[in-house]
Amino acid sequence: MAEGTDDRALPATEELALAREALVAGDLTHAADHVANALARAPTLPEVHETLARLAAASGSGGLDLFPLHHHTFVGAVVARAHLLAAAGRPAEGLDLLVAAAAHAPRTDWAGVPWVTSTELVEHLGPDRVARVLMQVCAAAPDPVPRSDRAALAPYLTLARNAITVHPEHALLLGTASALARRAGEVPLAVRWASRGVRAAPSKMGEVWLGYALRSAGRTREGLAALRRAVDHDPEDLAVYADIAGTLADHGRLDEALSWIEQALARNPSFDCAVHTAHRLRFQRDGDVGHLVALADYIRDNPDDSHEHSDLAECCRGRPWLGQLTPPTAGLAVRPQPLPLTGPESASTTPPPSTEAARRLRQVAHLAWPHPPAAYDTAVALATLDLNDLLGLLAHPPQTPDNPLGRVLSGQDPALWVRCVQVWTCLGLLHHRTDEPWATSTRRQVLVELAQAAEVTEAALFALMTAAWVDPSIRPDVARLVTQQLAAVAGDQRAPLPVTVSLAHLALATPDLDPECAALARMLAGVPAQPGQGPLRGLLARLRRPFRPRLPSPPP
C-alpha cells in the first residue's frame, strides 16, 4: 500500500473542490484521484463521502473501476474502494480493505463511518467473520494502544459490542473482542468478555485471552492460573510457557520464571520465543553479557523468527554502551584535535570532512541505539565515506544537526555531541574496506591506533566491541585489546575516574572477556560481583602482563 503525496499535498477541502470541478467536466479519473487524496486526509469527513457517492453515481458502475487494486495502491484509493464495496452490498470485502488500511496507518480513524458501526453489518458478516476482523485489527496494534491513538479502535470496538449482542455465547468472538478491548484500554470489559468466552467453551486460546486480560487488570495470580490452564489444554504451545515465564519475572519471581522457560527449552531447544525469553531472564539473573551475545548470535543465525521479539533491546536499553552513550568524561578535550595516527594512509594533521560526510553523520548520530548489532547496521550509512572523511569527522566534528536532539545538545551539552560524533564515526570505520581480512585490515589498524588516543579511546573501543558482537571470529582479539586498555587505565593513577568507570562498563559489554578482567571491570564500575567469584588479589598485576600467544607444546 502506497503512502500519500509529499508535504505540499492539498488540504481535504481543496481536494474536494478539485474533485467536484472534475466531476462537472466529466473527468472521472481525476475526480477519483482527488477524492482518494481527500479520504487520506479526512477519512470521516461527511463531505468526502458525499462526493464519493456522487462519483459512484456518475460512473454508472458503482465507481469500483475507478479505484482498482494493484500491488502498490494509494491508501486513499483502498479506503474509497472499501466504502464503495459496502455500498454495493459487499461490506465484508470492504471491511477487509479498511483493516488493511489500519495495518498500514494504525493511528488513522479509517473505520469511523456509519456503515461500520451499524447493527446491520453484524447480520451480513456473522460471528466468525467479525472475530477474524478483530484479530486482524489486534495484530496491527500494540498492547495497549497509546491513549492518544485509541480513537481509531473505537469503531471496531462498537462492531464487537454489536456482534456480541447478537451472538452472546460465541467463544471465539468473545475472546477476540477481549483482546481488542484490552488494547483499547477497556480492561474491565476485556476481563468480562474473556471470562464469558471461557465459560461458553473452555479452550487454550480462551484461557490465554483471559490470562492476558487479568494480567492487564493487575490480577496477576488469577492471570497466571489462566495461563497454566492454557498449558493444560495444549502442553506443546511453548509460547504460553514464555508468557508465563515473562509474567513471573516481571513480578520478581525469577527462579520460577526460569523453571518454566527451561521446561519449554527441554521440549524444543530452538523455539524462538523460548530462546529469546531464556537469554533475557538469564541476563536478569546474573548480568552476564554473554547471554545477550548468545541471543544476538541466535538472531543473526535465525532471521526468520515466528514474530518480532524485543528481548535483546529491552535488556540493552539504558545500559552504558549496550544501549546508549555514557555521559561526557571529565578531563577529555572536546575541541578539534589532531589525531596521532601513524598508518600508511593516515596523516598526523587531518583536513576537515566533506559536506556529504558531515550530512550523513548528522543523519545517523544519536545518543542511544537498540543494541550493538543495531548500531552496527545503522552505521552502514557511512560505509562509502573514504578514510580521510572519517578521520576528518573525528578531528573536526560537524555542527549539531538542526533537529530537537541537536538543539538540546548545542544549548546544554556540546561535549556530548562531540562524543556522539566520535562514537558513530568509529562505527563507520567498521564498514571501511570490509573485504580486507580483519587481522591485517585498515579498519582494525586505525581503530587500534585511535584507542591509544585519549580523546577517542572509548569510541574506538566501543566500535571494536561492536565488531565482536557481529563477528564471533574476532572476539578473542577484541577481548584482548579491551583487557589491555582497561588494565592500563586502571593502573594509571592520573586517569580521571569517569574515564575508568566508562571503560569498565565498556569492558563488561565486550563478548568473551576473561573472567578475571570482568571481575576487575565490575569492581571499577561498582557493579555487584557475580555469585561464586573469588577475591581480586593480584588481578591487576596479572592483567597488565604483556600478551603472549600460547604456542603448542613440542611433541614428547
Which amino acid makes up residue 214? L
d(CA 245, CA 238): 11
Structural domain includes residue 529: yes
Rounded to whole angstroms, the Cα distance separating 93 from 125 reads 10
The answer to whether the CB of 390 falls within 8 A of the CB of 423 is no
Domain count across the chain = 1
* Angle 431-348-329 from CA coordinates, rounded to 5°: 70
Give alpha helix (H) positions in 217-370. 220-233, 238-250, 254-267, 272-286, 289-301, 311-316, 355-364
Crossing angle between the packed helical segments 442-450 and 414-429, to the nearest 10 degrees: 150
- Give dist(CA 528, CA 525) in Å, integer: 9
What is the reported pTM?
A: 0.80
Q: Which residues pair with 368 in a beta bridge?
A: 324
Q: Quick check: is 528 in a domain?
A: yes
Domain span holding position 440: 355-543
Q: Cα–Cα distance between 508 and 482 in angstroms, integer? A: 10
DSSP state of 324: B
Give the CA angle between residues 175, 176, 180 to the nearest 5°. Answer: 120
C-alpha cell at 109: 480513524
SS3 74: strand
Query: In this structure, is the dihedral angle defined by the CA atoms of residues 12, 14, 19 and 20, taken in order, positive or negative?
Result: positive
Cell for 66? 475507478
Residue 188 is assigned to a structural domain of this protein: no
Position 121 in a domain: no
Cell 607444546 belongs to residue: 553
Residue 240 in any domain: the answer is no
Confirm whether 109 is domain-assigned: no
Full DSSP string of 271-290: -HHHHHHHHHHHHHHH--HH
What cell was used for 89? Answer: 452490498
Kindly give the confidence (pLDDT) of every residue in the chain, 556 residues in length, as a single tens digit, with 9 standing for 90 and above: 655 443 345 799 999 999 999 999 999 999 999 999 999 999 999 999 999 999 999 998 899 999 999 888 999 999 999 999 999 999 999 999 999 999 999 999 999 999 999 999 998 999 999 999 999 999 989 889 999 999 999 999 999 999 999 999 999 999 999 999 999 999 999 999 999 999 999 999 999 999 999 999 999 999 999 999 999 999 999 999 999 999 999 999 999 999 999 999 999 999 999 999 999 999 999 999 999 999 999 999 998 877 789 999 999 999 999 999 986 544 333 344 445 555 544 444 689 999 999 999 999 999 999 999 999 999 999 999 999 999 999 999 999 888 887 888 777 778 889 999 999 999 999 999 999 999 999 999 999 999 998 889 999 999 999 999 999 999 999 999 999 999 988 887 777 778 889 999 999 999 999 999 999 999 999 887 654 444 333 444 444 444 333 333 333 3
Helix, strand, or coil here: 369?
coil
**2 has which bridge partners?**
74
Q: Is residue 489 part of a domain?
A: yes
Q: Which residues pair with 67 in a beta bridge?
A: none
Q: How far is the C-alpha of 193 from the C-alpha of 175, rounded, in Å?
A: 7
Which residues contact residue 44 at a Cβ distance below 8 angstroms, ignoring those fewer than 6 apart?
Answer: 109, 112, 113
Report whether the peptide linkage leading into residue 11 is cis, meaning its omega lies within 30 degrees of zero.
no
In a domain, 454, yes or no: yes
Which one, of 309, 272, 262, 312, lies nearest residue 292 by Cα? Answer: 312
- Rounded to whole angstroms, how far apart are CA atoms 386 and 31? 51
